[in-house]
Chain A
Amino acid sequence: MQKGNLFSANRFILLIKHSLIVNKKLIGISVAGVTGTLFIALFFFQSVFSFQNWTNLSTTIFFLFCYVSLGGMYTSQSFPAFRSKGKSLGYLMLPASSFEKFIYEFLVRIVALILLFPILFWIVANAEGSIIHHYIPKLVSYRFSFSQGIPEFISKWKMSGWDVSTVVQVCLFVYFSTFTGACHFSKSPRIKTLFTLSVIIAGYTLFTYLLFKGLNLKDFRNPDNEILFIKSKEGIKAALSIGWMIVNLTLLSIAWFRFKEKEV
């Protein structure tokens, strides 16, 4: 067997093969399920828009909604081995390093989602569009293209580079928080993650409100604008985007440390 206790490419390939053999049915069922759901949902929304009013931009908005919501549901299923004692023991005793197992989970749950979901969506959207157009010709915008849809979306909301970056970070936040929650909580990770996030956000909002009220910041006027390093709207957006990024990286490191703790 390969040496290297931290990472071995050969062992990592074994881990992938192991997972493919064990999960091939589940992968097949999931892909079929998502394909069917997207097909039906697209048809439903197109019919709501009377078909002729459905545009490439509509498909893009629908894609972004699915990317975040279905993606979040998928990442909340991360670390399935931690859902029961029997599964955990088998997983933890499998001769692969913690780093390999974590990286594998990260690749399968987040990287694969980010890369493969748009491809699946593109295939389904175009297949569905072609089929529906064949039977209902008033669906004129039946060919979906990201290269057209995404720029259209950005220009529609007049988004700057930092706006786009913030949207990406928020999307990643959904994935990373559910990924971390799935690692932290053994039972019902999705509900517990949502609850925990709600408590944190509510607590932070309350704290900010009390601070605002207590210090009477409503009437505060900065006497010397120079002391603030954020001086423009763009600056605020940049700070917000960078802030989200820091939160995301923090969540990922929490997931790693929790994963290490799960071993004992």
Chain B
Amino acid sequence: MIQIKDLNFAYPGQQALFKSLSVHLEAGSITGLLGKNGAGKTSLLKLLIGLLHPQSGNVSVQGQKPMNRNVSFLENVFFVPEEFYFPAISITEYQKANTPFYPNFDHEMMERILVDFELQKENNLQRLSFGQKKKFLIAFSLATRCPLLVLDEPTNGLDIPSKSLFRKILAGSIDTNQLVIISTHQVKDVENLIDKIIILDKGRVIFQENIADISQKVSFISGTSADLPGAIYSEQIPGGYRIIASDRHTETEVDIELLFNAITNGKKIV
């Protein structure tokens, strides 16, 4: 679905952010785009949806060039930005104004998610809290059933129960024809949700792997000592250590935060 090849990009008057970046993503997955602040996550997302133009290289989404910003492209992509604006109208009116632009909009799904998020349709969007607005935007994005959903820091502003609800709703709302890209620096928030990880650092993809493959290749274990045989990376936690170890022959749940820290500290994991 997404093919990025030899992408070069720099903001005017600044040094190159991306140099020969290549990424390939297929539909049917929830991909976590992780990275520290300023790693280039949002810029990469904007390149994917045509809000930034590459200096050179090729960006293709569903066979279309995002930079052309064709309507046939825009109606198949939904972007949930970190900063957004809603007019002073009700949820019902917002839906009436915007849903006709999305050919696959699923009204039933929208109703369902609104109930899950405890949002009333007569609520005025401007009077909602930031977290409620975000929940509405997430609900709307899922109901568009766009093949590509791009969520930039979707859990920012959500309270703890809402974060967990977000994970549950997202996991239950997408199908195999869709690709969801979640960009976040709060790696804990996307645990048990994403099935592929891309880690960006200083404009480079430093890690790109399926969660299933990671859990087969390394184990994430707790121990009282960091000096275990096969230990690749460890972090002290209260009462012991969290360790990434190779050749354990046991499939464990991937600790994304630990993995992220290991990768960004230069450890070779898989």
Contact = CB atoms under 8 A, between A and B. Distances in A.
Sorting the interface of chain B by its residue count into under 10, 10 to 19, 20 to 34 or 35 or more gives 20 to 34
A84 B102 contact: no
Contact of B74 (A14, A84, A94): A94
Given A5-B71, A96-B71, A25 B97 contact: no
Interface in A54-104: 84-87, 89-90, 92-98
A86 B83 contact: yes
Interface residues of A, number: 28
B51 A264 contact: yes
Interface in B154-210: none
Contacts of A25: 88
B101 A89 contact: no
A1 interface: yes
A113 B93 CA distance: 26
A21 B93 contact: yes
A234 interface: no
Contacts of B50: 263
B28 interface: no
Contact of A14 (B51, B70, B101): B101
Contact of A86 (B84, B93, B97): B84
A264 B74 contact: no
Nearest to A260: B69
Interface string A252-264: 0000000000011
A92 B87 contact: no
Interface in B70-101: 70-72, 74-75, 77-79, 81, 83-85, 87-89, 93, 96-98, 100-101
A228 interface: no
Nearest to B50: A263
A89 B81 contact: yes
The prevalent SS among residues of B at the interface is loop
A22 B87 contact: yes
B101 A92 contact: no
Interface centre among B77, B83, B85 (most CB of A within 10 A): B85
A70 to B, nearest CB: 24
B51 A95 contact: no
Contacts of A18: 97-98, 100-101
Nearest to A89: B81
Contact of B97 (A4, A17, A87, A95): A17
Given A1-B103, A22-B89, A96-B101, A85 B83 contact: yes
Contact of B85 (A21, A87, A97): A87
Nearest to B52: A264
A23 to B, nearest CB: 8
A164 B74 CA distance: 45
A237 interface: no
A263 B51 contact: yes
B100 to A, nearest CB: 5
B67 interface: yes
Contact of A84 (B67, B77, B85): B85
Contacts of B103: 1
Interface of B: 49-53, 67, 69-72, 74-75, 77-79, 81, 83-85, 87-89, 93, 96-98, 100-103
Please provide the 3 A-B residue pairs with the shortest distance between their CB atoms, ordered closest to farther: A86-B85, A95-B75, A95-B74
28 contacts: A1-B71, A1-B75, A1-B101, A5-B70, A14-B100, A14-B101, A17-B97, A17-B100, A18-B97, A18-B100, A21-B93, A22-B93, A22-B97, A23-B87, A25-B88, A84-B85, A89-B79, A89-B81, A93-B74, A93-B79, A95-B71, A95-B75, A95-B101, A96-B71, A97-B71, A98-B69, A263-B69, A264-B53
